[in-house]
Amino acid sequence: MHDLAGMRIGYGFDSHAFKPGVPLVLGGMRIEHTEGLAGHSDGDVLLHAITDALLGAVSAGDIGTFFPPSDDRWKGAASSIFLETALEEIATAGYRIVNLDCVLILQRPKIVPIAGDMRARVAELLNVPAGDVGIKAKTPEGLNQDGVAVAHVTVLLEALAEPEEPKRMTATIEDDAEVEVVVRSLMGETHDLRRLGRKPAFDSDDLT
């Protein structure tokens, strides 16, 4: 059962235009297609939206905060690097992924035949079971954006369990008299109630 008080939701969106002459990378997978997605990195619109959803869930800014397009280090970079950084951010904030749900909107290629592989790849990159990743694909009906790939992602996080305080198993004995009481107790000597200055409630001889 999840503790609702320790949960956070995140939402991410991204879009990239299709462009001839570059490989298509979606969900961390290289996909055979006539064109790829334009972008400073590998153009993986799905991983970018997941990264933003994760960062947003812990109020850690967005992908551009960590990887500004002006920085040449990220030119052509695999977008899994962005995802790793977002995972570090949520772990540092004290959270882990419960599940995420993704919507891809693009005219081509068809995602249905590869959705299972994509789900497994995204789950692998996030280190979660495939059952915690939803991937749905839509065509952009009526949107007039056939040359664009769009991704929307929601993610749910829960707080990591805090380590329990170790229980104290020791007792403190202050002086010699206390030590004697403890030792005699352990030896069974104090079972004689008269030695403690108390009278038994009845004399055992009366039990006839």
Q: In the complex, which residue's CB is closest to Mg ion?
A: 48
Pick 48 or 121: Cβ nearer Mg ion: 48
Candidate ranges 47-55, 64-72, 132-140, 199-207; the one touching Mg ion (CB under 5 A)? 47-55
DSSP state, residue 191: G
Shortest distance in whole angstroms from residue 156 CB to Mg ion: 22
Q: Kindly state the smallest distance separating residue 152's Cβ from Mg ion, in Å.
A: 13
Please, which residue, 43 or 157, has the CB nearer to Mg ion?
A: 43
Stretch that binds Mg ion, among 6-14, 80-88, 131-139, 159-167 (CB under 5 A): 6-14
Which window, 29-37, 46-54, 123-131, 154-162, contacts Mg ion (CB under 5 A)? 46-54
| Shortest Å distance, C-beta 90 to Mg ion | 19
Q: How many CB atoms lie within 10 A of CB 152?
A: 19
Q: Considering beta carbons, is residue 14 or 158 the nearer one to Mg ion?
A: 14
Residue 77 in contact with residue 48, Cβ under 8 Å? no
3-state secondary structure of 61: coil
Tell me if 89 contacts Mg ion by CB under 5 A: no
CB of 169 to Mg ion, least distance (A): 55
Got the DSSP string for 81-147? HHHHHHHHHHHHTTEEEEEEEEEEE-SSS--GGGHHHHHHHHHHHHTS-GGGEEEEEE--TTT--TT
Q: Does 48 bind Mg ion (CB under 5 A)?
A: yes
| Shortest Å, Cβ 14 to Mg ion | 4
Task: Pick the piece of the chain touching Mg ion (CB under 5 A) from 13-21, 69-77, 164-172, 188-196.
Answer: 13-21
Asked if 152 interacts with Mg ion (CB under 5 A), we say no
DSSP 164: P
Binding Mg ion by CB under 5 A: which of 10, 12, 14, 154?
A: 14
Q: How far is CA 40 from CA 49, 98, 118, 150, 197, in A?
A: 15, 30, 22, 16, 88
Torsion of CA 36, 42, 43, 48, to 10 degrees: 140
What is the spatial distance between Cα 197 and Cα 200, in angstroms, rounded to a whole number?
10
Distance CA 46, CA 151 (A): 5
* Segment lying near Mg ion (by CB under 5 A), choices 8-16, 138-146, 158-166, 199-207: 8-16
Whole-angstrom distance, CA of residue 16 vs CA of residue 150: 7
Q: Which residues bind Mg ion (CB under 5 A)?
A: 14, 48
